[in-house]
Amino acid sequence: MATWQELLGTIDPPQNVVAYSADTAGLIRLISNVLKISVVAAGVFGLINLVTAGIQWAGAGGNPEIIKQASSRIWMSLLGLIIVAVAFVAAGVIGLLFFGSATAIINPVVFGPETTSTP
């Protein structure tokens, strides 16, 4: 009877997984990328919610209930966008104070496949 390894063969990890190896640096890279994606997603969601609430407010036609709902959504969207912006500023200030570089915490490098230039 054949073993699973004989049936399936050896499986090599994907090319981009090497950057997220089992050491501590790989975990830090993974967390950094997840936080970057979540902050961008929060900003995009807040902006879309702000625009749709503005459209709802503009199309309310004088209905006070719809205007109240739309203005509440506008303020909550603005508050969310402000919180996202303040988080970036705070990370920059903390990075500057403790590490000497404003980008020590906010590193704009996205880890992924390395690109090689062709001559």
* Segment 86-92 mean pLDDT: 88
Residue 33 maps to a domain: yes
pLDDT (0 to 100) of residue 25: 62
Q: Are 105 and 116 in contact (CB under 8 A)?
A: no
Please state the pTM of the whole predicted model: 0.62
Which domain, by its residues, includes 79? 22-99
pLDDT tens-place string over residues 40-78: 899 899 999 999 999 999 998 889 999 999 999 999 999
Q: Are 57 and 74 in contact (CB under 8 A)?
A: yes
Residue 31 maps to a domain: yes
pLDDT (0 to 100) of residue 44: 92
Share of the chain above pLDDT 70, in %: 76
> From CA 17, how far away is CA 29, in angstroms rounded?
11
Whether the predicted pLDDT of 106 surpasses 50: yes
User: What is the CA angle 27-32-37, rounded to 5?
Assistant: 130
| 119 band by pLDDT with thresholds 50, 70 and 90 | very low
Residue 75 maps to a domain: yes
Q: How many domains does the chain have?
A: 1
